[in-house]
Amino acid sequence: MADRWRAVVSAAALAAACGDNSRPPGVTIEAPPELVDLVREWAAPLGAGVVVEEVASPAEAAAAGSPGVRVAVVAGLDCAECYEIEEVGGDGYLVRGDAPLGVQYGLAAVFEGLGFRFSHPLDGYAPEAVRARADLGGAIGVRHQPAVARRRGVHLHTLHPIEGYYAMWEPGEENLATARRIVDWVVKNRGNYLQWVALDDILDPVRAGPWREHTRAIIEYAHRRGIQVGIGLQLFGSGSLQYGFDLVDDEDAEVRPQIEERLPLLTEELDWDVCSLSFGEFFGEDPEAFIASVDDAYQVMAELAPRAEMLATIHVGDTPEQRVTYMGEDMIYYFLVRYADPHIVPLVHTVMLYDLYEDAGGAYQHEDFAEHRAYILERLAAGQRVGYHPETAYWIAFDDSVPIYLPLYVRSRWLDLDRLAADAAAVGAQELDEHILFSSGWEWGYWQNDWASLRASYERPERWQDLFRDMFAAWPDGDELAGLAIDLTSIEHRALLEERLMPYLAARDLYIDLGADLDPPIVSQPDRVELDELAAMSGEERAEFAARVADGLDRLASDLAPLAARAAHLVDAGDRAARELADGVLVTEARARFIGALYGAALADLDGDGATRQAALADLDAALADARTIVARRHADLHHPQGDRLIAGGQANVTLYQFGYLAQTDALCYWLREKALLDYFLSGESGPVPSCIM
């Protein structure tokens, strides 16, 4: 069953090229003339076994009987983005929804009941044989409507060389086809919005022309499917640490003329629904200048793209340099957006796998994100618009680039939605109605975080565990896969979040170390005790560290060992998602063993315990060897059809990062860097170590 989805899509393309429509349909979709083109685009990726027929009365046609399963589609609900499913005859279904999105969502629900899964954006699951009857549980006769009503979608962080960067930013027919697949995936998973980040290469007219044609084609396709599209951009060049497109480079010059010169490069001939404004990281601005500049950006956008809305990101970062006092209130400077033009919708951001309610571990120097949560609830209580913009992958030295598999993201994103809804209801406030995920890569199981979070924003289950059960329900090993993901999530929540061990499973590169040494330090991911700091501790401090961190890492490795044993046989499973989940569990267990052995060796050395040190070094080498095997196996089995460019160690592109986003993963650069630092620590020498920034 490996590569079944790609085989289905390839067969569909071949059949279309040869004009071969003779294969008996497994599923027939009957649509009226006003919906038939939309439904054909919806069905195109599913292959020749799905046939779309134009009929005047779809419901009557479905009841009349024909080979295979029949699904009739009609528009007609007075409820935005809603759908209902009815049974018709012995093996037919009627999907009734508002158009264009409600009917597409209803189709997706029926096909999921037939055994399809729209999982990874480029690599879904198609059953070998369509079920004779759809397994729709309690979905029949129920009106399905979005919990997050206005905007549910994904922000592809194309400042990074992830899958979305190639699809959304680099012109080319193959990339355009991938972009359309991503739009289709958003639709099938009940989303209604897709956003990506602009880069500054289009300041070059040679680059701008092809980019504009590519982008126009994506926007037109998305609009046909009912999806809104947005473009992300920076306001101040001073806060742009990567190659993002910004509006103001010279802060000593007048701001508005610079915006009037730059913004048309993004808006000319392009029908954006949203311009999403960001303000960089780690830097602050004068409050009055900040507010005036944001207002200037809104006013120029309103002139150039009067149909588009403006969102403004409220980022994180709780350093004294990022706090300001304005109107008698102390706040992080991003919150100054509340004083800008009231038409601007604030988009509240949180980072990594941390949520709005629990410990944030020191990420961006936040103990928690209570200030961000309070602002969301304040806006909801006042009946004012506000969006939430959490992450589903952070990438840089933190999760998929290490690699570690973190289904804990799924729990965090569900928990935010669930508790925000409860808190809003408790004070009689409106519910959150804008939820845009910050996505930074889909391999190593990270597609699961986007899939689950999109689905939860449409219909939130009572328990986060149900997201995994639904996610894997169609797979032959579905119960086992869901059980592994659920059990791993629970272990990670205790160890990584509650016990604050995440900084140790995550990694560090040269830039992170340099930032930590600055005065004041620049901190993104939570900090950890480094080996030289361990050596400088008193005996009492070191004993406390050993009890809290070293013993915690040992306990984590012990807790993960049974999961690794359960996952081992799945590395040869017939479906990529099962193999990927198995590799994710195994590499996470290896990572826990590796980093636990590293600190164990250092502590033993400081205690003069040579035997324990040698045993720990042997454990470290064994874990590293296991990780090499796991990574090599996974990188020969990636979802992306051109997976080589995701792991390429040297690759020209227009981002800051001249390599594929999994290049450090492929080389296990962070592990080798940590091992080199340990070797120098034990020998008392110094020397070069991998920077892991290439």
Per residue in 129-155, pLDDT (tens digit) is: 888 788 888 889 999 999 999 999 999
| Cβ-contact 228, 222 below 8 angstroms | yes
pLDDT of residue 17: 30
pLDDT of residue 66: 60
Helices (H) and strands (E) in the chain, counts: 25, 18
pLDDT of residue 133: 83
What are the tokens at 240? 């742009």
Residue 15 has pLDDT above 80, yes or no: no
| CA atoms within 13 A of residue 50's CA, in its CB half-sphere | 26
- The residue written with tokens 């806006």 in the block is 379
Separation of alpha carbons 292 and 298, rounded Å: 10
pLDDT of residue 167: 97
Pairwise pLDDT comparison (267 vs 251), residue with the higher score: 267
**Angle subtended at Cα 547 by Cα 542 and Cα 548, rounded to the nearest 5 degrees:** 95
pLDDT of residue 30: 95
Amino acid at site 150: R
Mean pLDDT of 264-281: 93
Range in 243-252, 407-416, 464-473, 492-501 with the lowest mean pLDDT: 243-252
Q: Residues 6 or more apart from 10 whose CB is under 8 A from it?
A: none
Pick the CATH number of 4-125 from 1.10.1660, 3.30.379, 1.20.1530, 3.30.470: 3.30.379
pLDDT of residue 67: 64
Residue 7 has pLDDT above 80, yes or no: no
Q: What is the DSSP letter of 284?
A: -
List residues bridging with 50 in a β-sheet: 27
pLDDT band at 285 (very low <50, low <70, confident <90, very high): low
Q: What is the pLDDT of residues 392-422, one digit of tens each?
A: 999 999 999 999 999 999 999 999 999 999 9
Residue 106 has pLDDT above 50, yes or no: yes
Residue 341 has pLDDT above 50, yes or no: yes
pLDDT band at 10 (very low <50, low <70, confident <90, very high): very low
pLDDT of residue 283: 54
Q: What is the pLDDT of residues 624-669, one digit of tens each?
A: 999 999 999 999 999 999 999 999 998 889 999 999 999 999 999 9
pLDDT band at 284 (very low <50, low <70, confident <90, very high): low
Torsion of CA 575, 581, 585, 587, to 10 degrees: 80
In this structure, the number of other CB atoms found within 10 A of the CB of residue 575 comes to 25
Domains 4-125 and 151-474 share a fold: no
- For residue 623, give the nearest of 599, 650, 596 by alpha carbon: 596
Residue 31 has pLDDT above 70, yes or no: yes
- For residue 103, give the nearest of 111, 112, 94, 95 by alpha carbon: 95
Q: Residues 6 or more apart from 214 whose CB is under 8 A from it?
A: 170, 171, 172, 175, 176
pLDDT of residue 13: 34
pLDDT of residue 37: 97
In this structure, the number of other CB atoms found within 10 A of the CB of residue 643 comes to 18
Range in 160-174, 232-246, 262-276 with the lowest mean pLDDT: 232-246
Mean pLDDT of 523-535: 95
- Please state, rounded to an integer, the average pLDDT across all residues of the chain: 92
Containing H/E element for 664? Answer: helix 663-667
Separation of alpha carbons 75 and 65, rounded Å: 21
pLDDT of residue 152: 98
Domain-wise residue ranges, the chain? 4-125, 151-474, 493-683
Write down the CATH number for the domain with range 151-474. 3.20.20.80
pLDDT of residue 129: 81
pLDDT of residue 238: 74
pLDDT band at 322 (very low <50, low <70, confident <90, very high): confident
**% the chain with pLDDT above 70:** 94
Residue 3 has pLDDT above 90, yes or no: no
Separation of alpha carbons 176 and 169, rounded Å: 9
Q: What is the pLDDT of residues 554-601, one digit of tens each?
A: 999 999 999 999 999 999 999 999 999 999 999 999 999 999 999 999
- The residue written with tokens 């195109």 in the block is 44
